[in-house]
Structure 1
């Protein structure tokens, strides 16, 4: 039955006074009621809000799909890095395979997908990703040499969720066996990366026990960026190596691989990071280690790696506008190589004004100041309520093949390395099954 709401407006002075008094009583009653409500406990800033975690949880499938592609292509590119192989040819084949694998997923769906990072192959002393051009004859002729440490980096993205990976290999090593300084570098990089991932865990993520014990674990202070660098230096110096200065880990967001937060390892003068990982976030974790001092310098190579910025600028040249239009359509805000443009030579001309106007950012080619070998790893991770999950990561090496006379002795470092990255779900299921069997036996 429909109800009709009647609104009676006061007309006399007495009626107005009565309404005013009634309104005041209602306001006082509402105030008392509100004051009796339990006060909200201030949330731990390192724990996720419901919305944040849900966002990452729903996007995790796309991250994982992109990661599977990145891992598959990384394995193929690694096999192509042999003595005498031209770097530009390896990069081209890697990008072609990325495109082929990306085309196989989410067919028929209106979802943006593509390359999150072009295939780059960086020679021994190079620090940053390197991708030469066919039109630069001298650089296009560069071949891989036996015994040099090569860094391979690439990535795919699905719906703006990018998974980038980087691994370091020694060209033509026998069955992956390394010794001497090559082994020192490989071990230093591996253990430093493992330690870094563990220091990025939000406090209390893996805590177990009573509610009081879990609350106590969550109340602990996270590792500061300065402390993280200090611990990592203990690792690499155990092998007579050094961190590469300004090695940066970034928070990943949709269509953004350099998010609001970043961790800078071995920061240079006037450089600092900002923020730490929280549950519900994705991060790109980079580790760079050098056999030299870790100091870097700009190399004379052409900058061929670029990405679009959020800056707007009125480009004057038609070639510049055409280049930017192609970049926006093909790559969005993800990095790209000039080699991937429709016309490489025209692209070389078109990016000049784009970079000058700030609408494109170019990545300078940086190398080790001492021309010593550099090793890099890059892992895309998800920080979940159960710990850190590696989405795309370099393959775990067989450490028994690395022959070194050095080792880590620092107790604090060793203790951290012993910790897991995530809760063991298998053990949980095992315990549940064991408990169920015990219960059945008791009932019998």
Structure 2
């Protein structure tokens, strides 16, 4: 009887549910890296298209709208049939000349909607795509029409500073110069800043204060780790260092002025991002805006023009910002009114080194020339450092080519 009672009790007891397998969302999961790369392909394609559209007379609004339309269309084409989020990780923004931060005007603001670009303008174009929450964001600085000596210096300085910064971010354990006899020491943010200052100065440029790079994660473009170049007053300092297995969004900005920033008068903040703050909203327009943002963008940045009704969004956003539900990106510019540049590179750090996932194209060195150059030997050695260790397949291919050339 006792055995029968025990059996009956066991049969009546609820069956324990099998635990869901925990998904690895780091770069150790090949599927994660694939999604980053797929998003990067889209970001590159759209950046190239928007850059070509940036001609004399084009409106900034039309460039932003074209970029976002392409981002939506291209992300819809990949990973079909899978229940994953896809879309814009960073809306298309175009910041002209002294405007430094990402800028995207509204169609309902007649004055800003009609702003056009002209030959000689220095434009910072930034955008990004995401697949399953894994973002690839990229920014490039281009000149509309013919370049000038001043813009050439700015573009070259920014390119070389960016290349140096990436090399200064290589973790110690995979750094090419790291040996048991002489372990490599990762430079501090101060040491990184000083190196970059030298490069910028060689071309008559300055670093922009408080330019910040963040570690990336799924649905997160501003992780806990950050690298701050030339931190300004009241700005959080660098925290943590890059490690193998991480993705980072690396930002770099230079100026032909003093590198100090200020709010641009008359420019509405139209770029926002949802925070983790919880708050009960009172207005219907505010609740509608919050719900639409959560559904469409999650925690990724968005422009007010991307919402269904700009006018409702402009009203609803106010309470959301006051309640700290949304953080708004102020429109900042160079304090001296000088031309500025910005590059943004999404990188993956693996045991083989740093891979540029989404990166601005290198300048056309035949067209963009300067009478200035870098002469510091330590900087030149840094720039010559490979970002990645050469793979066995690549070494094998080089040997074959060398043998073939010797035979010929």
- TM-score past 0.5 threshold: yes
- 1:303 is displaced (CA, Å) by 0.4
Does the alignment pair 1:265 with 2:197? no
- Structure 2 counterparts to residues 110-129 of structure 1, below 5 A: 110-129=83-102
- Tell me the alpha carbon deviations over residues 165-212 of structure 1, each in whole angstroms, 9 at most, x when there is no partner: 000100012xxxx3421111111001000000000001241448xxxx
Does the alignment pair 1:248 with 2:221? no
Structure number with higher helix proportion: 1
- 1:290 is displaced (CA, Å) by 0.3
- Tell me the alpha carbon deviations over residues 116-154 of structure 1, each in whole angstroms, 9 at most, x when there is no partner: 000001111110000000001110110001101001000
Does the alignment pair 1:420 with 2:386? yes
Answer whether contact 2:156 2:363 (CA < 8 A) is retained: no
Separation in 2 of the partners of 1:194 and 1:268?
Answer: 23
SS in 2 for 1:367: strand
Does the alignment pair 1:308 with 2:274? yes
Answer whether contact 1:56 1:281 (CA < 8 A) is retained: no
Query: What is the aligned counterpart of 1:292 among 257, 273, 276?
Result: 257
Change (3 A) 1:92 1:391: same
- 1:432 is displaced (CA, Å) by 8.1
Query: What is the aligned counterpart of 2:292 among 302, 319, 326?
Result: 326
Matching residue of 2:187: 223
Please provide the CA RMSD for this pair: 2.0
Separation in 2 of the partners of 1:260 and 1:127?
Answer: 24
SS in 2 for 1:293: coil
Answer whether contact 1:126 1:368 (CA < 8 A) is retained: yes
Q: Structure 2: state its 5+ residue gaps.
A: 1-23
- 1:216 is displaced (CA, Å) by 4.1
Answer whether contact 1:313 1:357 (CA < 8 A) is retained: yes
- 1:53 is displaced (CA, Å) by 5.8
SS in 1 for 2:180: helix
Query: What is the aligned counterpart of 1:394 among 360, 366, 384?
Result: 360
Q: Structure 1: state its 5+ residue gaps.
A: 1-50, 438-444
- Structure 2 counterparts to residues 342-357 of structure 1, below 5 A: 342-357=308-323
Separation in 1 of the partners of 2:308 and 2:132?
Answer: 23
Does the alignment pair 1:279 with 2:244? yes
SS in 2 for 1:390: strand
Query: What is the aligned counterpart of 1:361 among 314, 327, 352?
Result: 327
- 1:270 is displaced (CA, Å) by 3.9
Query: What is the aligned counterpart of 1:370 among 316, 325, 336?
Result: 336
Separation in 1 of the partners of 2:246 and 2:27?
Answer: 10
SS in 1 for 2:172: coil
Change (3 A) 1:94 1:214: same
Matching residue of 1:47: none
Answer whether contact 2:271 2:301 (CA < 8 A) is retained: yes
Separation in 1 of the partners of 2:176 and 2:72?
Answer: 42
With the length of structure 2 as denominator, give the TM-score of the two structures.
0.89
Structure with larger Rg: 1
- Tell me the alpha carbon deviations over residues 56-82 of structure 1, each in whole angstroms, 9 at most, x when there is no partner: 543100000000000000010001100
- 1:54 is displaced (CA, Å) by 5.4
Change (3 A) 1:395 1:405: same
- Structure 2 counterparts to residues 428-443 of structure 1, below 5 A: 428-430=395-397
Query: What is the aligned counterpart of 1:61 among 16, 34, 53?
Result: 34
Does the alignment pair 1:79 with 2:79? no
